[in-house]
Structure 1
Amino acid sequence: MDVIPLSQLRLGIQYCLIRVMISRVWEFRGKSDDEPVKHLDLVIIDEKKTSMYVEILADVIEILKTNLVEGRVVTIKKFIVHHARTLFKVVQHPYMIKLNRRTEITPVDPQPQNFPRHVYSLINFSDLDHYLNMTAQFLDVIGQVVAVSNVAAIKSFGKMQTKRIVKLKDLSGHIIELSLWGSRATEFQGDQIYEVGQKDAVIVLFVGTLWKSHRGETPFLSGTSACHWYINDESIPEIRNFYASLPNEVDPIEMLQLANSNNNQDEVRQKTLLELKDADPFEEKTNRFECTVTITRLTPNQKWFYPACQKCHSRTNLSGPTYTCTNKECSCTEMEYRYKLSLMGSDDTFELEFILFEQSSKFLAQMQLADDKMDIETMGDQTGSGVAGSKRPYDSTTEDSEDDDAALGTYGKRTKKQ
């Protein structure tokens, strides 16, 4: 059977043969590492450097996972081609592939030399604001690590999650912050990078991130399950070129201290609903509270969605042929519908209305009313999405190295003497 280039695939069931490199593999579990795997995701690339996104449903993973190793060239046949997803695109291709229990994956032996491996489309730091709070595609960036934090347990949108911060600087001196969440935070070799960064420059190319801002705060990159990275990888031309443009001496990497949320429990206070009702919104505007309630009913005559600004997720209004965001600091004219769930919750003291947005409303919509008690953290206009990482047992490059320098790679750009 002849090998078909990815560029020639068409919609429908395909009984043909493709030969590709498995560039990336990750598990999608939803909002938390504790949730079951919903599907396994891949990025593949062929010899003509055409890349595609591949999805494998949970009940098929065990059948196919043996040959799903990053960096391996395989042949694949018996699969189905679908239209690409409209959100969270990892590659720009009109189609995606879904594998099934009859799919056949065979490693190519011997492995071809000089087969394309990496898939990315770099965005300049100066252009990131064009993608603020947008979910149409993931973003890829490159920068020099100037600071890295420890891993800390952080409460984000009512859930405890692990988090690590990495600060990146581009060649223009612009510094941005990247937050790694869930297992991505623990997998990132922060301590090793800090040690290497005391003597040498550390350049990282991150793929699969989103540019976010919550409630008007300083924007940051967010890296969850789809996020991967390449550290001082000399096989990537952009990393080599970035390094060549650095001065002979660079500043050593700074270690940031990220506090655990359990060290700041006073920031979230327990209240009954009656106490919450009587709270002064002018005095308590910046405070956060937590209450345990039983969801009793949906608020009548309320829509379950609202017209949202595509950039900042505030409400937007139709103004002639375009939309006008109600956030005075936002000039976006694009609209998308987002979830907004209005419901009533009660405890032994009172009943109050709660309004939940997007991810929180999606989560609660899957539960039967009054079946369970749960914590609802009142955090103002909670329009952001929860984020979490995902485990990576399919990554062939995550084994611990005996030599930190060998694992990370080093260059000749030395740090300034202290």
Structure 2
Amino acid sequence: MFRLSKMQYSLLKDVTQESHSWRVRVQVTRFSEYNSEDQPPVLLRLDLVLLDEEGTMMDAQIPGRHMTSFSPVLKEDRVYYITYFEVAEARASYRPVDNPIMAKFTKHTQIKEINHVPDSFPRYACKVIPFETLQARVDITDVLSDVVGMLTAVSAISTVRIRGGHKEVRNIQITDGRAINFVWQHYMQMVF
């Protein structure tokens, strides 16, 4: 669905893999670097989350070979028109958002910052879910869960094998904090 403004654009919910010519108006947020295990580490890609005015989120990646084109221009929590990106299936595990597709920047990707951000944009890229839903995600690794709760225990750091590499994780125990006698507990892994 296109919105009328100075530039026409699509909402993230309407983006599909049928085209690489999408134009979206999004806030870029939650930057994280993915490095190799080499010594010294090599930056393989920059991961980020795209957030549109309706609160729809999409994972995005900038490959290391394109970092020099985009990292000086993209600033976290700013809003941009982004055009000509590849639309691919989302990664199978540890996705930062629950969206089956993701954006991948290419050498053809274009970005244009929007100086006057509409008030309709949400301030944060998050999705509030019931604690029971979070508890049901125990041992499910397709989507990472952002958690707000009362931390009750933290394990030592351990190493797990993920996608042919090793990652350090820490098991944590939280409660929803509603009542002392009625405590939901949840164990999850935080990937560092």
- What residue is the counterpart of 2:190 in the other structure? 223
Contact 1:88 1:137 survives alignment (8 Å): yes
Q: CA deviation at 1:102?
A: 2.2
Identity in percent: 27
Contact 2:158 2:169 survives alignment (8 Å): no
Q: CA deviation at 1:143?
A: 1.3
Whole-Å separation in 2 of the counterparts to 1:128 and 1:46: 24
C-alpha change, 1:166 and 1:221, in structure 2 (3 Å) is: closer
Contact 2:24 2:82 survives alignment (8 Å): yes
Q: CA deviation at 1:108?
A: 0.6
The answer on 1:92 being equivalent to 2:114 is no
- What residue is the counterpart of 1:61 in the other structure? 67
Secondary structure class of the residue paired with 1:142: coil
* Deviation string, structure 1 residues 287-346 (Cα, Å, up to 9, x no partner): xxxxxxxxxxxxxxxxxxxxxxxxxxxxxxxxxxxxxxxxxxxxxxxxxxxxxxxxxxxx
Structure 2, unpaired ranges of 5+: 1-6, 161-166
Contact 1:73 1:112 survives alignment (8 Å): no
- What residue is the counterpart of 1:37 in the other structure? 43
- What residue is the counterpart of 1:392 in the other structure? none
Whole-Å separation in 1 of the counterparts to 2:173 and 2:141: 22
Whole-Å separation in 2 of the counterparts to 1:167 and 1:33: 33
Secondary structure class of the residue paired with 2:67: helix
Q: CA deviation at 1:13?
A: 4.4
C-alpha change, 1:50 and 1:165, in structure 2 (3 Å) is: closer
| TM-score computed with the length of structure 2 as normaliser | 0.73
C-alpha change, 1:56 and 1:30, in structure 2 (3 Å) is: same
Q: How does 1:204-353 map to 2 (within 5 A)?
A: 220-224=187-191
- What residue is the counterpart of 2:114 in the other structure? 108
Whole-Å separation in 2 of the counterparts to 1:140 and 1:2: 32
Contact 1:25 1:69 survives alignment (8 Å): no
C-alpha change, 1:126 and 1:112, in structure 2 (3 Å) is: closer
Equivalent residue letter for 1:23: T
RMSD: 3.3
Whole-Å separation in 1 of the counterparts to 2:33 and 2:97: 17
C-alpha change, 1:129 and 1:44, in structure 2 (3 Å) is: same
C-alpha change, 1:15 and 1:221, in structure 2 (3 Å) is: same
Contact 2:169 2:190 survives alignment (8 Å): no
Q: How does 1:12-31 map to 2 (within 5 A)?
A: 12-29=18-35
Whole-Å separation in 1 of the counterparts to 2:118 and 2:130: 33
Whole-Å separation in 1 of the counterparts to 2:184 and 2:154: 13
Whole-Å separation in 2 of the counterparts to 1:223 and 1:46: 26
- What residue is the counterpart of 2:123 in the other structure? 117
C-alpha change, 1:125 and 1:112, in structure 2 (3 Å) is: closer
* Deviation string, structure 1 residues 217-274 (Cα, Å, up to 9, x no partner): xx733222xxxxxxxxxxxxxxxxxxxxxxxxxxxxxxxxxxxxxxxxxxxxxxxxxx
Whole-Å separation in 2 of the counterparts to 1:48 and 1:127: 22
Whole-Å separation in 1 of the counterparts to 2:168 and 2:90: 31
- What residue is the counterpart of 1:277 in the other structure? none
Whole-Å separation in 1 of the counterparts to 2:77 and 2:10: 20
Whole-Å separation in 1 of the counterparts to 2:54 and 2:39: 36
- What residue is the counterpart of 2:163 in the other structure? none
Contact 1:13 1:79 survives alignment (8 Å): no
Secondary structure class of the residue paired with 2:75: coil
Contact 1:84 1:95 survives alignment (8 Å): yes
The answer on 1:7 being equivalent to 2:13 is yes
Whole-Å separation in 2 of the counterparts to 1:139 and 1:44: 17
Equivalent residue letter for 1:7: K
Contact 1:21 1:117 survives alignment (8 Å): no
Count of residues in correspondence between the two structures? 177
Whole-Å separation in 1 of the counterparts to 2:39 and 2:61: 19
| Aligned equivalent of 2:145, options 136, 139, 142 | 139
Q: CA deviation at 1:127?
A: 4.7
- What residue is the counterpart of 1:77 in the other structure? 83
Larger Rg: 1
| Structure 1 runs of 4+ with >6 Å offset | 146-149, 161-167
Whole-Å separation in 2 of the counterparts to 1:133 and 1:20: 31
* Deviation string, structure 1 residues 16-45 (Cα, Å, up to 9, x no partner): 421101131111225699532222111111
* Deviation string, structure 1 residues 372-392 (Cα, Å, up to 9, x no partner): xxxxxxxxxxxxxxxxx3xxx
Q: CA deviation at 1:6?
A: 1.6
Q: CA deviation at 1:99?
A: 0.5
Contact 1:11 1:81 survives alignment (8 Å): yes
